[in-house]
Amino acid sequence: MKFGSWDKWTSTVTKFGAVGSILFFALELHQNSQQLEAQSRYAQFEIQSYDTNRVFYENADLASILLKERSQKSLSELESFILQRHNVQMIRNWEFEFMESRRGILDSNFSIDRWANNLNNNPARLEAWTSLSPIWQDSFKFALNDALTNSAVN
């Protein structure tokens, strides 16, 4: 009688162990697929960033353009275009960081308020933000617009 009871108990524990192992394996597969998705998005983002930088910054000194803009000197049409592309890429970097953080993939210390202050202190970047508003993902756009509104109130 004890032997039969022991067999049932061992069988039950074994079944629970097998189910637990399968659930653990499924969880690991899910986490790995999320990580692969994040790596894929980041690789695509890096390729786009590289292409943008290579095409637009190859023939002009971006640092001198940024310094001219900061000291409010007039920019040529090409310099204005390069500055606009730089600002758009900067905001795209923020958007990528925001979205990946919301997905729980990226640990980041980003600050929506810091980005809003950056936009408020940089008229050309604020112009890039407002003029291209339709292209930003809604959750990012709403969060940053709220931060801009709050910084304007304070």
Token pair of 105 as six digits: 């993939």
Would you write out the chain's pLDDT as a tens digit for each of its 154 residues? 455 677 788 888 888 888 888 888 788 877 777 777 777 777 766 766 666 666 555 655 777 888 888 888 999 998 898 889 889 988 988 888 888 788 776 666 678 889 999 999 889 999 999 999 888 999 999 999 999 998 876 6
What is the three-class DSSP state of 9? helix
Asked if the structure places residue 134 within a domain, the reply is yes
Question: Could you tell me if residue 62 is inside a domain?
Answer: yes
78 lies in a domain? yes
Rounded CA-CA distance 130/88 in Å is 11
- CB 100 within 8 Å of CB 94: no
**How many domains is the chain built from?**
1
Please give the residue range of the domain that contains residue 97: 41-153
Pick from 58, 66, 64: nearest CA to 83: 66
pTM over 0.95: no
As a whole number of angstroms, the distance between CA 145 and CA 151 comes to 10
